[in-house]
Chain A
Amino acid sequence: MSESQPPLRFTGHHSLAHRLVLSTLTGRAVHISQIRPSLPSNPGLAPYEISLLRLLEAVTNGAHIEISYTGTILLYKPGLISGNAAGTSVIRHEIAATCSRGVSYFLVPLALLAPFSKAPFNVLLTGPGVITSSTLSGDISVDTVRTAILPLYSKFGIDRNIELRILQRSNAGTHGRGGAGEVQMIFGHQIRLPKTLHFMNCGRIKRIRGVAYSTGVSGSNNARMIDAARGVLNPFAADTYIFSDVSSAALIAAPEKNNPGAKRKMGLGFGLSLVAESSTGTLYSADAASPPAGGQPPEDIGQQCAYYLLESIARGGCASLEAAPTMLTLMAMGSEDVGRIQLGKDVIGNEKIIQLARDLNNFGAAGWGIRDAEDQSKDEVIVSIVGRGIGNVARKIG
């Protein structure tokens, strides 16, 4: 927390969200330059990144953000993670209609900050930019966050009062931008330090759960997606259950010249989220949603999602590619003890994870130890991570 430390310097827009999270958790300021400098149409920070910065500002106290005129340079000095200050019941964050990312882009970083907050988190994400479905830009759906990311926190001893309410569903709107969903995240379990994790046995898949959602379109799409997905998955797991959620699309104001009170529907579409759970609690997830341009039958989406799930399972290890950043970060923020996790070689051998390892190292965490798993037949490695032991600076002991 010392002010004298110079900001850490990064370049490029890669893993910006995660760098901001690490910066907030460790209290180190970051200076990020060359953010999309060569993009002729829109250089600099994207609207969703600005929105994320605003959100970080809202849940912290004393954050300082400087953005250059072109938006290609960002200086972020984090504040203390305060959560909901006394008196405010809910933090309302509006996401503008230009947002092209799913709301999980905001939820996953938010969830990472929440355990280290002073007060509980109660954040309502709303506005014409909230897309609750998965998107083509690689975001997972809200259902996957709820069923595959948030349960991971219980492995670190963070399991109480965590809730993600989906108040209004929405798929990506035209051109993949905007939706009109509404999501409320309540994260009421604040801790001093996450428990040290030793997770070496990924077990066997015992059940598959899923949520099929149709927003503003016929519910038969759900049945068709579920049927196709089950067709692929049934030979593997007997215990497969996919929920079906049909909801109407949100109406948003669309004033016209002749009809100023006009409204139109927003965020129509359908999608599927699948989560496979193993006997030891490993969660593998997969997502697929109808593209904003349309033209894909629900059978394709269902099959696609099922194949993604098989691919994710085949990668192996105790954390899926989607879960690994969350788990590895929590491990690195844990007490000064060695935690171990077994990861598939294609999970650890992923650009993002390697970048994460380097970023963590830059933020002062010790390097990861990597060795082959005992069971040579598996393509897996054991990663040992020493926690930083700073944990929650704001929370009182006790």
Chain B
Amino acid sequence: AKKLHTVKIAYRAADLSRMMYDESLSPADVVRQWSGQVVPDKGTETGGEDTDEFFRKSRGENEEDLDDRLTPKYDYQQLAQKWQDPEMIDSIRHRFTKAALTSGANDLGEGGDDDQ
């Protein structure tokens, strides 16, 4: 039955509400399954798969999840690269009231023309 669930659409609200209170899954597993991530370094054996994942996860928890962080941990280098990419910049531009990317103070674009 578990095999059937491997192919599914990521980020479906129904899936999350099903998994959210399933105590057999750790929160990390819920996140992983919901976002549709395939666990890396998956063993080829179907039997060994679960135990592999289990041990890998528990080790990971000991290393990094020692404290309750309020803010997530970021990789600065990756983030810098991500947000220097024009595509990424375009992707969140609609979240700002200022519609056009201005190139300077005297840009002729219609900056700030949106409803406030």
Q: Which residues of A are in contact with B by a Cβ distance under 8 Å?
A: 13-18, 36, 38, 101, 104-105, 108, 134, 137-140, 204-206, 232, 235-239, 278-279, 287, 300, 303-304, 307-308, 310-311, 313-314, 316, 321-322, 325, 345, 348-352, 354-355, 357-358, 361, 367-372, 379, 381
**Chain B residue at minimum C-beta to C-beta distance from A379:** B11
Which residues of chain B (10-50) have a CB below 8 Å from chain A?
11-14, 16-17, 20-21, 23, 27-28, 30-31, 34-35
Residue B1 is within 8 A (CB to CB) of chain A in the complex:
no
**Chain B residue at minimum C-beta to C-beta distance from A357:** B20
| Chain A, interface SS category | mixed
Q: Say which residue of B17, B62, B67, B74 sits within 8 Å of A369 (CB atoms).
A: B17
* A204 contact set on B, CB distance < 8 A: 94-97, 114
Question: Given A134-B71, A204-B114, A354-B31, are A307 and B101 also a contact pair (CB < 8 Å)?
Answer: no
Q: Report the Cα distance A282→B99, complex, angstroms.
A: 19
A310 B96 Cβ-Cβ under 8 A: no
Question: Given A204-B114, A354-B27, are A138 and B69 also a contact pair (CB < 8 Å)?
Answer: yes
* B92 contact set on A, CB distance < 8 A: 236, 310, 313-314
B93 A368 Cβ-Cβ under 8 A: no
Q: Report the Cα distance A350→B111, complex, angstroms.
A: 35
**Chain B residue at minimum C-beta to C-beta distance from A301:** B76
A–B pairs, 6, beta carbons within 8 Å: A18-B68, A138-B69, A204-B94, A236-B101, A308-B79, A354-B27
**Chain B residue at minimum C-beta to C-beta distance from A372:** B13
Residue B106 is within 8 A (CB to CB) of chain A in the complex:
no
| Chain B, interface SS category | loop
B74 A205 Cβ-Cβ under 8 A: no
Q: Say which residue of A108, A307, A355 sits within 8 Å of B79 (CB atoms).
A: A307
When A and B form their complex, what is the total count of cross-chain residue pairs whose Cβ atoms lie within 8 Å? 143
CB distance from A14 to the nearest CB of B (A): 7
A351 B31 Cβ-Cβ under 8 A: yes
Q: Report the Cα distance A232→B73, complex, angstroms.
A: 20
A354 B20 Cβ-Cβ under 8 A: yes
CB distance from A83 to the nearest CB of B (A): 24
* A303 contact set on B, CB distance < 8 A: 80
**Chain B residue at minimum C-beta to C-beta distance from A19:** B68
* A300 contact set on B, CB distance < 8 A: 76
Q: Report the Cα distance A205→B112, complex, angstroms.
A: 11
Q: Report the Cα distance A182→B12, complex, angstroms.
A: 46
B 82-96 binary contact with A (CB < 8 Å = 1; else 0) = 110000110111111
Q: Report the Cα distance A82→B30, complex, angstroms.
A: 38
Question: Given A14-B68, A140-B71, are A235 and B114 also a contact pair (CB < 8 Å)?
Answer: no
CB distance from B66 to the nearest CB of A (A): 8
B97 A361 Cβ-Cβ under 8 A: no
